[in-house]
Amino acid sequence: MICRETEKSILATVIEYSRSCPNLVDILFGNCGEGDFKDLNANLIFKGLGDLVERNSAFDFATIMDLLKGKVGEAYFTSMLDCLRGTYEGIAEQFLREKISWLKGRYAQVALLKEIDDLARENINIIDWDKIAEIAQKTKLVRVKSEDSSFRAAYREYVSWKETKRTCVNTGFPTFDKLTDDYQCGEIIAIMARTTVGKTFLGLNILSHLINSAQENKIGLFSLEMDKGPLTERMMQIYFNLSRHEVHSQRMAGGLNEDEFLKRYNFLKVYKFVYSVAEIERLVEKDGLKIIFIDFLQLIKAGSGSGSYEVTTNKIVDLKELAKNRGLIIFLLVQISRKGGGGWEQVTIDMARESGAIEEICDFIIGMWDPNLNPRVTEKQRAESQGNLYMKLLKNRRGPTVFVEAKFSRDSGRILEIEEKNVF
């Protein structure tokens, strides 16, 4: 047990900063249980928070006060808010000192908790939230689930997997899909290219295909680079097969069936802020997502790591953990290094090696390039190619790789395979 003022400090800090530092929620519920608090009000608040977390509901002080109206008095909440006006810019001294001392005997990563405490002592006037989140991320525990680890259980799962209906999650490009079959939960599909080649358009073409074929699955699109307005315009270009100027003019003239467009994307959730992997995981859980698109890897908020290679490697490792633990399928857009030239050179698997563990950890990798971006290409050659785009399945967890030639309309953004290849 800890003192009542510390209880208020812990709960107030978790409520106030649950969105900006979600690790605080994990620390609280990973180490506390009902009855651990001295004050009845604190126990009621802890239980209320637990109910909201179980329902994947976001919360703040207003939500908790409304939930516990008539059970916890306003005076108690006022005293909790007073804890946030003290030192450490909103984190009461007890929270980062006494609380951590209390947790040492109950938490596996004692040294890391001490590191947070030391950081707080060194920065009395300024709290480095990113640094604290980075340290706290290292302490993340995978909750142990009851699991039958016998080989017979594995075989039964294999039989069940083969007998269940298809996931219908694939790219929509026949040559690729013949070799990969449907993607399964826990897998990551990376799309690699230089800037300006059309990674986002390729991702949106695949998303448009999945909206048709896998409608029962909730899909999330994390557009870390582009705001929702321009992104929606690109989706409308693909859907209506129009240039962006035509989309605008026809919409203003009432010539577009916007209701059908909105109905088709009803299962899609779109997020525009720059998130960490931990924050993406919280949104996946809250919104019940089964397929997510991330545009793009390098813009994911950095966690731990001292150099760009290590940081990127840690991101991709965390994404794989997210995919496996949450049963997700992840489409991950990756901007390759300058080794990929200006976007017209053929993309090779070794271009991923400079971006951390992408080559090793991703289950499938698609490289794409556009020879028409080469400034040395003449207008005649560009006209003869008629907007051809080249893609290659660089890594296939289930078999061989293959090259695909596609037609890319830079007006509408549609990408269509030119000729399905007989790969068997």
- Report the number of distinct structural domains present in the chain: 2
Residues 111 and 188 in one domain: no
- In terms of Cα–Cα distance, which of 205, 166, 189 is closest to 393? 189
Instruction: Quote the pLDDT of residue 177.
Output: 95
Pair 232, 361 in one domain:
yes
Lookup: tokens for 224: 């870390």
CA distances from 192 to 187, 200, 333, 404, 413 (A): 16, 10, 6, 15, 17
Which CATH number does the domain housing residue 89 bear?
A: 1.10.860
Check if the beta carbon of residue 10 is closer than 8 Å to that of residue 25.
Answer: no
Q: How confident is the model at residue 62 (pLDDT cuts 50, 70, 90)?
A: confident
Supply the pLDDT for residue 183: 95
What integer pLDDT is reported at residue 53 of this predicted model?
A: 79
Does residue 143 lie within any of the structural domains? no
- Cβ atoms of 72 and 39 within 8 Å: the answer is no
DSSP helix/strand/coil, 267: coil
Among candidate residues 82, 103, 138, the one where a domain is terminated = 138
Domain with residue 329: its CATH number is 3.40.50.300
pLDDT of residue 351: 81
Asked if 393 contacts 202 with a C-beta cutoff of 8 angstroms, the reply is no
pLDDT of 322 reads: 92
In a domain, 424, yes or no: no
H or E stretch at 389: strand 388-396
Of the residues 80, 105, 138, the one at which a domain ends: 138
Looking at the chain, the whole-number percentage of residues with pLDDT higher than 90 is 39
Residue 78 has pLDDT above 60, yes or no: yes
Burial class for 385, CB neighbours closer than 10 Å (0-12, 13-18, 19+): middle
Which residue segment(s) compose the domain that 387 sits in? 156-417
- Identify which of 86-90, 164-168, 298-302, 384-388 has the greatest average pLDDT: 298-302
| Amino acid 99: pLDDT | 45
One domain for residues 341 and 217: yes
Express each pLDDT in 262-283 by its tens digit.
Answer: 999 988 999 999 998 888 988 9
Classify residue 147: in a domain, yes or no. Answer: no
pLDDT tens for residues 349-389?
888 755 668 889 999 999 999 988 888 877 777 776 667 89
- The confidence score (pLDDT) of residue 115 equals 60
For residues 368 and 344, give the distance between their C-alpha atoms in angstroms, rounded to a whole number: 9
Q: What is the pLDDT of residue 30?
A: 62
Task: Count Cβ atoms below 10 Å from residue 106 Cβ, excluding itself.
Answer: 11
Q: What are φ and ψ of residue 245, in 5° steps?
A: -70, -40
Q: What's residue 400's pLDDT? A: 92
Query: In what side-by-side order are the strands of the sheet with 291-295?
Result: 268-271, 219-223, 291-295, 329-335, 188-193, 364-369, 388-396, 402-408, 415-417
Mean pLDDT lowest for which of 95-99, 117-121, 134-138, 143-147?
95-99
**Whether residue 218 sits in one domain with residue 119:** no
107 exposure class (CB count in 10 Å sphere: 0-12, 13-18, 19+): middle
Evaluate whether residue 146 is within a structural domain. Answer: no
111 inside domain: yes
Burial of residue 293 (number of CB atoms within 10 Å: 0-12, 13-18, 19+): buried
Res 134: pLDDT: 58
Tens digits of residue pLDDT in 277-305: 888 988 998 899 999 999 989 899 876 55
- Identify whether residues 226 and 331 lie together within a single domain: yes
pLDDT at 119 over 90: no
Distance CA 174, CA 420 (A): 6
Does residue 115 sit in the same domain as residue 203? no
Of the three residues 106, 138, 170, the one that is the final residue of a domain is: 138
- Does residue 167 share a domain with residue 133? no
- pLDDT for 106 beyond 60: no
Task: Tell me phi and psi for residue 46, to 5 degrees.
Answer: -60, -45
Is the pLDDT at 170 greater than 60, yes or no? Answer: yes
Q: Are residues 292 and 411 in the same domain?
A: yes
Q: Tell me: do 358 and 275 sit in the same domain.
A: yes
Amino acid at 337: S
Average pLDDT, rounded, for the chain:
80
Residue 249 covered by a domain: yes
Residue 103: predicted pLDDT = 44
3-state secondary structure of 421: coil
Q: Please give the pLDDT value at position 377.
A: 79
15 & 163 share domain:
no
pTM, rounded to two decimals = 0.68
Cis check: omega of the bond before 296, within 30 degrees of 0 = yes
| pLDDT grade for 8, boundaries at 50, 70 and 90 | confident
Kindly report, residue by residue over 222-234, the tens digit of the pLDDT. Answer: 999 999 999 999 9
* Segments of 132-257 assigned E as strands: 188-193, 219-223
Does 38 map to a domain? yes
Q: Is position 149 within any domain?
A: no
- Say if CB 393 and CB 410 are below 8 A apart: no
User: 3-class SS at 239?
Assistant: helix
Q: Cα(237)–Cα(239) distance, rounded to whole angstroms?
A: 6
Alpha-carbon span 77 to 356, nearest angstrom: 46
Asked if residue 236 and residue 130 are part of one domain, the reply reads: no
Average pLDDT score over residue span 57-66: 83
Minimum mean pLDDT range among 34-38, 220-224, 324-328, 395-399: 34-38
405 — pLDDT class (breaks 50, 70, 90): very high
Residues 264 and 401 in one domain: yes
Q: Which pLDDT belongs to residue 371?
A: 87
Picking from 143, 138, 141, 137, the residue whose alpha carbon sits closest to that of residue 21 is 137
Residue 243 banded pLDDT, cuts 50, 70, 90: very high
